[in-house]
Amino acid sequence: MNLININSAWVQNSVIVLIVYGILISFIIYRYPDHIKHYARKWYLVWFLWPLIFFAEVRSLRRILVNIVGVLLVVWFTQFLGDWIQPALTPADIFPPPFSGPKAVELQMVDQGQVVSLATYTGTALPYESVNINARVDGTIQKLNVYEGEYVKAGTVLAKLDTSHLKPLYDKALAESRFWQAEWGRAKELYEDKVISALERDRVRKSYETSAAHAQQMWAQLNYATVKTPVGGWIAKRKAFQGQYIRKGEMMFRVDRLDALRIQFHVSERDLPFIRNGDPVWLEFPQMSMLAFNRNGWRDKIMPSTEEQIATSLVGKEPFVNVADRVLPNTDKQANPGLIAEVAVIFPSVDPKTHTGIVEARIGNPGTLLKSDSYVVGHFRVEHVNDVVRVPSKAVLQMPDKRDVVFVGPAFSDEGNAELREVQIGLKANGRTEIISGVEANEFVIVRGQRNLSDGEFVTVVKRNGGF
């Protein structure tokens, strides 16, 4: 084989040299025919160069020679270009011969249990209570005691209004109330002595009660000039400024209670029917670290958001996914912190534009670590079935005619024939598929190596998993 290649290369090189020399000689003959004849006779080379002399004397033959050399040059260049651009790999290298022998496969035992579908949504942390404190009387703000971001206890005085226009009105109402109080005392004595009638007595009593109510009303307005917070919390907004004239009903402050939080999620209409009050929900906090939670009093509540932890919290003690088929993120050592909560409220209406409904969970907030409007990732358990035959989802293949099939491997030996079976599937979620018919529990399906397998083909089992 090498000798043939060497000879072929030698012949090609020789042809190239002859073509080059032919081009040069043809150019000389075609360009200088008279000079060739002259020097051939002068140097007595007529017999040796007679072909050149002959071609030099016949112009048509010179043209034919040049055309033949040109054609050879084109042919050589075409062959050279084809050899240069041909692929480096041969068809045998690109398409190696098929492997001879049984195919290696991995088996997984079919079992019975749960198939659970999880839905993940991003929610917003809201204050447990958010109280707007409005002005209850007209007046000029005389003093402000708090600023935004400060914490206040229930009953703390936030601001005071000017009462110079209210104090005289209260004094007048109080004086009238005292006057009619004395009149009411005299009227009762006169009625007992039968000096006045019952009608006159009742009129005096009405005037007394009206004046007393008016005095009490003026006293309340005088107290309203001292603005207090009814709840403890953080000053989230302050829309009042010292010296500002404010009217009754205008907002002055907003106090947020953050010792507890309401986590609201906008859940799709498709998942809403499967969520109930009291259902578990796993809350994940990607923006926080475990260290931050532990330092703020969450040590007994917070846990890493690993697959195993979410499975235990939402589904039960049984893991819902094989370790080889990870379907949730954050399974590394730096897993996001999270905790288990319960669905507290499902709002009765749906947004007509987004077709989502609000689902709310409530949690405590030790150390007020989580702030208002923080984002939270929630994992909900939606569709699920119990005590069904199930296989790993990667074991199920769909044929071109839309049939779902699995390959069943040898049950008790490491070698045997693979059997193709058509199956009817149900719920498919989180790495598992419910099998309604086609295979039974305790059989073994092929989960790796079945892509190019055919029915009845001989296989070798390299790994056998006894359960999920």
Q: Which CATH class is domain 103-110+396-465?
A: mainly beta
182: buried, middle or exposed (CB in 10 Å: 19+, 13-18, 0-12)?
Answer: exposed
The model's pLDDT over 57-84, given as tens digits with 9 standing for 90+, comes to 666 766 676 677 777 777 767 776 666 6
* Contact between residue 127 and residue 261 where contact means Cβ atoms under 8 Å apart: yes
22: buried, middle or exposed (CB in 10 Å: 19+, 13-18, 0-12)?
Answer: middle
Q: Which amino acid is at 353?
A: K
Q: Is the pLDDT of residue 196 over 70?
A: yes
* Contact between residue 336 and residue 282 where contact means Cβ atoms under 8 Å apart: no
Question: What separation in angstroms does the CA of 464 have from each of 312, 320, 448?
Answer: 26, 19, 11
Same fold, 103-110+396-465 and 118-125+256-384: no
The model's pLDDT over 24-54, given as tens digits with 9 standing for 90+, comes to 666 666 566 666 666 656 555 545 555 655 6
Q: Is the pLDDT of residue 85 over 70?
A: no
The listed range with the strongest mean pLDDT (3-17, 70-84, 176-190) is 176-190
Strand partners, 201: none
> 3-state class of 274 per DSSP?
helix
The dihedrals phi and psi of 151, each to the nearest 5 degrees, come to -95, 135
CATH code of the region 118-125+256-384: 2.40.30.170
418: buried, middle or exposed (CB in 10 Å: 19+, 13-18, 0-12)?
Answer: buried
Of 53, 61, 3, 6, the residue nearest 33 (C-alpha)? 53
The stretch 182-210 carries a mean pLDDT of: 90
Give 170's contacts (C-beta < 8 A, 6+ positions apart): 215, 218, 219, 221, 222
Of 58, 53, 57, 52, the residue nearest 24 (C-alpha)? 52
Mean model confidence pLDDT for the chain: 81
Read off the pTM: 0.61
The model's pLDDT over 87-146, given as tens digits with 9 standing for 90+, comes to 544 444 545 555 557 889 999 999 888 888 889 999 999 999 999 999 999 999 999 999
Of 231, 364, 373, the residue nearest 296 (C-alpha)? 364
The mean-pLDDT minimum among 85-89, 270-274, 361-365, 456-460 falls in 85-89
Of 220, 224, 219, the residue nearest 172 (C-alpha)? 219
Determine the Cα–Cα distance for residues 172 and 121; give it in Å rounded to an integer: 62
Percent of residues, the chain, with pLDDT higher than 70: 76
Q: Is domain 133-255 given the CATH code 3.10.580.10 in the classification?
A: no
Token pair belonging to 449: 């190596």
Higher pLDDT, 60 or 414: 414
Model confidence at 176, pLDDT cuts 50, 70, 90, reads: very high
Determine the Cα–Cα distance for residues 352 and 364; give it in Å rounded to an integer: 32
Higher pLDDT, 451 or 438: 438
Sequence spans of domains, the chain: 2-86, 103-110+396-465, 118-125+256-384, 133-255
The mean-pLDDT minimum among 72-81, 380-389, 396-405 falls in 72-81
Helix, strand and coil in the chain, % to nearest 5? 35, 35, 35
The mean-pLDDT minimum among 200-214, 274-288, 327-341, 358-372 falls in 327-341
Model confidence at 288, pLDDT cuts 50, 70, 90, reads: confident
Which pLDDT score, from 0 to 100, does residue 335 have? 76
Higher pLDDT, 318 or 118: 118
Of 54, 70, 64, 59, the residue nearest 31 (C-alpha)? 59
The stretch 391-420 carries a mean pLDDT of: 90
Token pair belonging to 68: 């033949």
* Contact between residue 424 and residue 417 where contact means Cβ atoms under 8 Å apart: no
Determine the Cα–Cα distance for residues 320 and 303; give it in Å rounded to an integer: 18
Which pLDDT score, from 0 to 100, does residue 248 have? 92
Higher pLDDT, 310 or 87: 310
The model's pLDDT over 329-345, given as tens digits with 9 standing for 90+, comes to 444 446 788 899 999 99
Give 425's contacts (C-beta < 8 A, 6+ positions apart): 396, 404, 433, 434, 435, 436
Determine the Cα–Cα distance for residues 402 and 298; give it in Å rounded to an integer: 51
The mean-pLDDT minimum among 149-158, 195-204, 313-322 falls in 313-322
Determine the Cα–Cα distance for residues 5 and 434; give it in Å rounded to an integer: 63
